[in-house]
Structure formats: structure tokens, C-alpha cells
């Protein structure tokens, strides 16, 4: 049949026939993988269940206190704003403290509520019942100015940020030719100290990085990735970026994992670059079977979505990189609403 098709059908028709013949299999593969993603998101997020885990409740608290922070940071906050949010936050904190130990989330939230109370009282707003509950929570909190807002000076902001970064961005390249020098965990920690300031939705900080620095572990994990042929066996350190689905609430956030995780991953790569360390982003666009294989290997939480991996290594004195030419600026930047 194949020989007859090649003999009697033109090339374009053969290509179309091949595409049609594989359509059912590709459709069911897509369906299977979409259902896998759906099951995982609904099982671990708060979209269909509420507060089944500590992480779910913690993320609601993070999101609510950040709503109050954003309101306080406006140019002219409205007196009395955010009362329903503050009341809900107090209830959540009371329940959280009843179920779990105090932690950073609790102390941060109470600090924000304290600033919120002070702001409103200065404006002559007195929510007696709410403020009494906040005062009760403050008795259990560390007396630290953790949350709320701060006033920054333009001159200092610009002085801290004033760097011409064009050369820095242009010089970062994907490295696949590392030296044999081990990468210390301390160096990874230095990079993460920078990367942890990456923007994150509602300040929920759902992304994290798993670091593998032992040779045997690196090889076990990188073999699951399938995109490191020719250099994976020489990778000294491997990072895996994940995001916890338990931090998300609704269908609208079904893709938020890849946004927050992608942002953190890019910060990690640039932080490593600033420390003179090479890296190569390794994609994790895989099927259900490959994802399950990785989970059997690394034993991460079921709620964690794997975003990508990053190969890390020290540089040789001389090494090759792909040129990877960039398209012109107008490919990346679209100015205004397009008419056609």
C-alpha cells in the first residue's frame, strides 16, 4: 500500500493521507493527556474543594493579606477599604492557628492586619469587632514589621537599579559544554537568594527549585528528560523547577503554574549567569507516562507540577555555544491595537 501510494500519489497528497491516517491516535493521545492534567489540577487545587490541606489554606491567607497590602500601597487608599477581605482573613487565621502551628504566613498576615488597622484608625474608621479580633491575633505574633507597605525614594530606587544590562542579557547563552568542576550547593543558594524575589501571583510564592548535586541523583533525574543527548552525562548539577497546584483556586488559574514557574526559572538562570556559572534550560513538555516516570524517580508531591529542568555547570576556559540568532525587534514588540 505504501509503495503504491508513493508511485501514484503526488507528494502533497501522500502527506495529507499520512496526516489523516494518524489523526485518531493523535486525538486520543491529546484527550488522555488533557484528562490527566484536569484530574491533577482538580485533585490538588481549591477549584472544586476548599481547604483540604495546609497549603491550600495557607495560599488563601497569602492572597488575602496581599490584597490588603496592595490597597495600602495605592497613592490614596480609601478609608475603610477591604473590610470583607480583612474579616475573611481573620477567620482564616483563627482556623489556621487552631489546626496548625504558627508560621511565616501567620506572622506576615497579622503584621498586615495590624498596619491595616492603624491606617483606618488614623482615618477615623473604627471597626470595633474586627479590630478587637486583630488585637487578639497580634498577641500571638512576633512583634516585627513584616507586611503592609513601605515608602521608597526615587533617587535610591534608581541608584540601586542603575545598570546597563544589555551586555549581560546578550552574553547569557545556553551552555552544553561544562567543566568537570563540581557546583557547590552554597553557590546554588546564592543564586536562589536572588531568584526568590521573582514576581509571583498574589505573592503566593508557589514555585520552588529542587537541586540535585550528587552525580548519581543527577543522572537518575536527567535520564527522564530526554532532551540532553550528547552532554547530559557531564552535567554536574541539575535543578528542577516545580509549582504547587494547591496554591491555586479556580479554572482561571489552571495555567498559572507555568507562568509562576517560568518566571522563577528565568530568574534562576540569570542569577547563575551573574555568578559566572553556565546553565541550559531543559524543557518538560512531556506526556503523562513520562511525567509519571519522573515522579517515581524523584518522589515529589503529587500536587507539584514540573515546569522544567536546568542543567548547571562551571565553564571551561573555551567552549562552544549555538549562535541562536534572534529575530528583529518588531517580531517581539507589537505597538498598539492591530487593525488587521
| pLDDT score, position 17 | 65
312 Ramachandran zone, left/alpha/beta (phi>0; psi -120 to 50):
beta
Helices (H), the chain: 2-8, 11-21, 23-44, 54-72, 83-99, 104-122, 128-138, 154-161, 166-171, 185-195, 215-222, 256-274, 288-298, 329-332
Residue 329 cell numbers, joined:
525587534
Residue 91 cell numbers, joined:
477567620
Q: Are 259 and 162 in contact (CB under 8 A)?
A: no
Q: Are 219 and 233 in contact (CB under 8 A)?
A: yes
| pLDDT score, position 1 | 53
240 strand-pairing partners: 210, 309
Q: 44 — phi, psi (to 5°)?
A: -110, -25
Angstrom distance (rounded) from CA 92 to CA 106: 10
| Residue from 66, 65, 134, 56 nearest 100 by CA | 56
Give, in order, the Cα–Cα distances in Å from 310 to each of 46, 78, 95, 266. Answer: 29, 45, 39, 10
Termini Cα distance of the chain: 45
Angstrom distance (rounded) from CA 215 to CA 219: 6
For 3-27, the pLDDT digits (tens) are 655 655 677 776 776 777 778 888 8
For 306-328, the pLDDT digits (tens) are 999 999 999 999 999 999 999 99
For 56-94, the pLDDT digits (tens) are 999 999 999 999 999 999 999 999 999 999 999 999 999
Q: Which residues contact 18 (CB under 8 A, 6 or more apart)?
A: none
CATH of segment(s) 169-313:
3.40.109.10
Angstrom distance (rounded) from CA 75 to CA 245: 33
Angstrom distance (rounded) from CA 188 to CA 186: 5
| Residue from 123, 198, 112 nearest 150 by CA | 112
Enter the DSSP assignment of 304.
Answer: E
Angstrom distance (rounded) from CA 264 to CA 267: 5
Question: Is residue 187 predicted with pLDDT exceeding 90?
Answer: yes
For 32-44, the pLDDT digits (tens) are 999 999 999 998 9
pTM above the 0.85 mark?
yes
Amino acid at each position: 500500500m505504501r509503495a503504491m501510494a508513493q508511485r501514484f500519489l503526488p507528494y502533497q497528497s501522500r502527506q495529507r493521507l499520512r496526516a489523516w491516517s494518524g489523526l485518531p491516535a493523535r486525538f486520543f493521545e491529546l484527550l488522555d493527556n488533557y484528562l490527566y492534567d484536569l484530574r491533577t489540577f482538580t485533585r490538588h487545587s481549591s477549584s472544586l474543594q476548599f481547604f483540604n490541606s495546609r497549603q491550600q489554606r495557607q495560599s488563601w491567607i497569602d492572597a488575602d493579606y496581599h490584597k490588603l497590602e496592595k490597597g495600602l500601597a495605592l497613592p490614596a487608599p480609601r478609608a475603610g477599604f477591604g473590610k470583607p477581605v480583612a474579616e475573611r482573613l481573620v477567620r482564616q487565621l483563627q482556623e489556621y492557628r487552631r489546626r496548625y502551628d504558627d508560621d511565616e504566613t501567620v506572622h506576615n498576615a497579622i503584621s498586615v492586619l495590624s498596619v491595616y488597622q492603624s491606617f483606618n484608625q488614623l482615618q477615623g474608621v473604627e471597626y470595633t469587632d474586627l479590630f478587637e479580633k486583630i488585637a487578639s491575633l497580634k498577641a500571638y505574633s512576633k512583634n516585627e514589621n513584616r507586611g503592609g507597605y513601605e515608602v521608597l525614594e526615587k533617587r535610591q530606587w534608581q541608584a540601586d537599579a542603575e545598570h546597563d544590562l544589555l551586555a549581560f542579557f546578550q552574553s547569557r547563552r545556553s551552555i552544553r559544554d561544562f567543566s568537570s568542576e563540581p557546583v557547590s550547593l552554597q553557590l546554588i543558594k546564592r543564586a536562589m537568594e536572588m531568584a526568590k524575589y521573582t514576581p509571583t501571583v498574589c505573592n503566593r510564592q508557589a514555585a520552588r527549585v529542587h537541586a540535585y548535586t550528587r552525580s548519581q541523583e543527577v543522572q537518575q533525574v536527567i535520564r527522564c528528560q530526554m532532551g540532553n543527548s550528547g552532554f547530559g552525562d557531564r552535567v554536574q548539577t541539575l535543578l528542577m523547577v516545580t509549582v504547587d497546584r494547591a496554591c491555586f483556586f479556580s479554572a482561571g488559574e489552571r495555567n498559572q503554574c507555568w507562568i509562576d514557574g517560568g518566571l522563577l526559572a528565568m530568574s534562576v538562570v540569570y542569577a547563575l549567569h551573574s555568578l559566572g556559572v553556565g546553565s541550559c534550560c531543559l524543557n518538560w513538555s512531556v506526556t503523562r507516562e513520562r511525567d509519571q516516570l519522573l515522579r517515581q524517580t524523584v518522589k515529589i508531591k503529587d500536587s507539584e507540577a514540573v515546569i522544567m529542568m536546568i542543567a548547571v555547570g562551571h565553564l571551561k576556559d573555551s567552549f562552544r555555544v549555538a549562535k541562536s540568532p534572534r529575530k528583529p525587534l518588531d517580531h517581539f514588540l507589537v505597538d498598539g491595537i492591530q487593525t488587521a
